[in-house]
Amino acid sequence: MGRGKKKSFGSKGRGGSHVNGERKRYKKFEELARDNKSFRKYYTTQQIVSEDEFPELMETMRTVLPTNFRITGSRQQATDIREQIMTEFVPYIRKVRIDGAEIEAPHPLPWYPNEFGWQFSIPRIALKKSTELANFHSFLVTETEIGNISRQEAVSMVPPLLLDVRSDHIVLDMCAAPGSKT
């Protein structure tokens, strides 16, 4: 920013923005309508599915995705992290109940090599807010920050496996965005 006047980024409080001096409460994820007139119009105009199939497309797009991650550290680090997940976190999570309901523990994606790709049926927002899963969430955040785990959708893990990229290859990912496909 340089010298001089500091830019204000708003209050450091929690739970909403201010509109005309009034605090506006953020809605919980479950409360969000997940429907939008412009969004519907855009996808209707694209005609990617028939009119009869459109409601099913919209319902599918509203589906909350599971939490996915892949272990990316050096070979020994990756093995150690995988073992920690399998021996510490999975047994603990199998015993966890949220609102009285049993939850599915994280499990390796069967098609990802060396059990380094994982899926957890809990959506990211629920994982972040759950006190019962706080240690696992903290572990994922820490390992992500230091580069040992990469959180990404399972579908994004597929292309590198199919491309069979080797050290002497040059790859230009034209769909690259901040993420870890490249």
Query: Would you place residue 127 in the very low, low, confident or very high pLDDT band (cuts 50, 70, 90)?
Result: confident
| Mean of the per-residue pLDDT values of the chain | 82
Dihedral in degrees, nearest 10, Cα atoms 78, 159, 120, 31: 140
Give the model confidence (pLDDT) of 153-167 as tens digits.
899 899 888 988 888
Q: What residues contact residue 55 under an 8 Å CB cut-off, 6+ apart?
A: none
Tell me which amino acid residue 152 is: Q
CA distance 27 to 96: 26
Q: Which two tokens stand for residue 106?
A: 């994280």
Q: What residues contact residue 98 under an 8 Å CB cut-off, 6+ apart?
A: 126, 130, 132
CB 43 within 8 A of CB 51: no
The residue that leads in pLDDT, 30 or 111, is 111
The pLDDT value given to residue 40: 87
